[in-house]
Amino acid sequence: MRLLDGLITRLLDGPLEALVTKKVDERVEALKLDALYSHRWHGDESRLRIDETAIVNNALFNVSGGTITVGKDAFFGHDVAILTGTHDIEKFGRERQMAFPRSGRDVVIGEGVWLASHVLVLGPVTIGDHAVVAGGSLVREDVAPYTVVAGRPAKVVKTIARPDAAEATPQEAQAESP
């Protein structure tokens, strides 16, 4: 019986090890992909409202100081962070860690907003519909709809033409002026 067990072990050892290695490698790759397309949150998850059509990839949402709302068709690049929390710089040690507002620092991200990779948003702030925030930007103030902002802190660099805005002919523009 020992001889037969040894023979079976030698016959199966290579193929079985290769199969196990292949399956482990596939699972590791799947986990890497999952990490790129799974958001994380800190605080009460019920304070996070993401429209089902939004794509947030691997964003981090901190809802400790307010709610976060992500509108219809909004989409994020990778490593975006939306933070409602802050701490009291006048406190020290453990007291500083625990002294933070529990509400009032809401973040609203409107319909069709694009937050490019590595954007940091600090609430309270509203990013208006169809606005674009350039990669690596820091948003500390409200962003008007149909604008492009960039920088640290983010500043308006362009206004986007609204799709429903009709082009006025030169005659119409002249008739409207006083």
Q: For residues 10, 15, 18 and 24, what is the CA-based torsion angle, rounded to 10 degrees?
A: -100
pLDDT tier at 71 (50, 70, 90 boundaries)?
very high
Residue 53: partners with Cβ closer than 8 Å, 6 or more residues away: 72, 73
| pTM score of the predicted model | 0.73
- Which of 22 and 64 is assigned the larger pLDDT? 64
Strand partners, 48: 68
Between 32 and 60, whose confidence is greater? Answer: 60
130 catalytic? Reply is no
**Per-residue model confidence (pLDDT) at position 173:** 45
> Under CATH, which architecture does the 39-159 domain have?
3 Solenoid (2.160)
Question: Above 90 in pLDDT, residue 27?
Answer: no
Choice among 42, 78, 87, 118 that is catalytic: 87
* Residues contacting 143, CB < 8 A, separation 6+: 125, 126, 127, 128, 131, 133, 149, 154, 156
Domain ranges of the chain: 1-36, 39-159
Share of the chain above pLDDT 70, in %: 83
Choice between 165 and 66, residue whose per-residue pLDDT is larger: 66
* 151 vs 1, more confident: 151
> Hey, is 109 helix, strand or coil?
strand
104: left (phi over 0), alpha (psi -120 to 50) or beta: left
**pLDDT tens digits, 74-94:** 999 999 999 998 888 899 999
- pLDDT(176) > 60: no
pLDDT over 90 for what percent of the chain? 59
Q: Is the pLDDT of residue 163 over 50?
A: yes
pLDDT at 36: 66
**Rounded to the nearest 5°, which phi and psi values hold at 109?**
-115, 115
Confidence of residue 166 (pLDDT cuts 50, 70, 90): low
